[in-house]
A and B are shown apart, each in its own frame.
Chain A
Amino acid sequence: NAGVTQTPKFQVLKTGQSMTLQCAQDMNHEYMSWYRQDPGMGLRLIHYSVGAGITDQGEVPNGYNVSRSTTEDFPLRLLSAAPSQTSVYFCASSYHRGTNEKLFFGSGTQLSVL
């Protein structure tokens, strides 16, 4: 099992550019989510999905879109990148939305917006 795979690992964008962060898991997990990590703020939830075709907003959703067309994939789209979106992004998954279950994290994407 590869677990949770995120690509790319690093990315530099110019303000206004768009891009998609890819996330895939091969564990047949129902629940997938995206977090951003900023210094001094820990990790904050951007969007989440409880199954294919179902997505919802987390704590900091503005400027990001998601979709879940398959169980395996949960891409995060930046529509028009802003310097405030400079951050490290993590995709995470678990079998269910169960709150006591282990959350499997990807290795992260470091994004810089100039």
Chain B
Amino acid sequence: AQTVTQSQPEMSVQEAETVTLSCTYDTSENNYYLFWYKQPPSRQMILVIRQEAYKQQNATENRFSVNFQKAAKSFSLKISDSQLGDTAMYFCAFTPVTSNTGKLIFGQGTTLQVKP
């Protein structure tokens, strides 16, 4: 079975500091895609960053970057210079290239609070 695990239900960080959210996944697939989604209190799902498993270089999007460790099946999200607007629930998600359903497999989510 393919699973995604986020072991930190809640985290907090001071404004302007750096925080890392953890994600591990389990799959026998070799080619797949990994995502981090942000869900603010508005409930809207917002794609933060995307990583293709065949690329060794870690993806970055402005203040957001990932640490992708394929052998360890780990995909953590680092948020630098945290801002109050980063307060949200963050979901890690995975999908194999061979998927016929287009299904994203989501982790349980991590609630991040940025404190002023």
* A residues neighboring B (CB under 8 Å): 31, 33, 35, 40-45, 48, 50, 56, 58-59, 88, 90, 92, 94, 97-100, 102-103, 105, 107-108, 110
B108 with A41: CB separation less than 8 A: yes
Whether A40 contacts B106 in the complex (CB less than 8 A), given A103-B47, A108-B43, comes out as: no
The 6 closest A-B pairs by CB, nearest first: A42-B106, A105-B45, A97-B102, A45-B103, A43-B106, A108-B43
Interface of A is mostly: strand
Q: Which of A43, A45, A92 makes the CB contact (< 8 A) with B101?
A: A45
In the assembled complex, the Cα of A105 lies from the Cα of B103 at a distance in Å of 13
The residue of chain A having its C-beta at the shortest distance from the C-beta of B52 within the complex is A100
The residue of chain A having its C-beta at the shortest distance from the C-beta of B105 within the complex is A42
User: Residues of A contacting B50 with CB < 8 Å?
Assistant: 100, 102
- What are 14 A-to-B residue pairs whose CB atoms are below 8 Å? A33-B102, A35-B104, A43-B106, A44-B106, A45-B104, A48-B103, A50-B102, A97-B102, A98-B102, A99-B32, A99-B99, A102-B47, A103-B104, A108-B43
Whether A58 contacts B103 in the complex (CB less than 8 A), given A42-B108, A99-B96, comes out as: yes
Extra 17 A-B pairs, beta carbons < 8 Å, given A43-B91, A44-B106, A110-B43? A40-B9, A40-B109, A42-B107, A45-B101, A45-B103, A48-B103, A59-B103, A90-B45, A99-B33, A99-B95, A99-B96, A99-B97, A100-B52, A100-B97, A103-B47, A105-B45, A108-B45
Interface of B is mostly: loop
What number of B residues sit within 8 Å (CB to CB) of A?
26
Whether A94 contacts B102 in the complex (CB less than 8 A), given A42-B107, A43-B91, comes out as: yes
* B residues neighboring A (CB under 8 Å): 4, 9, 32-33, 42-45, 47, 50, 52, 91, 93, 95-97, 99-104, 106-109
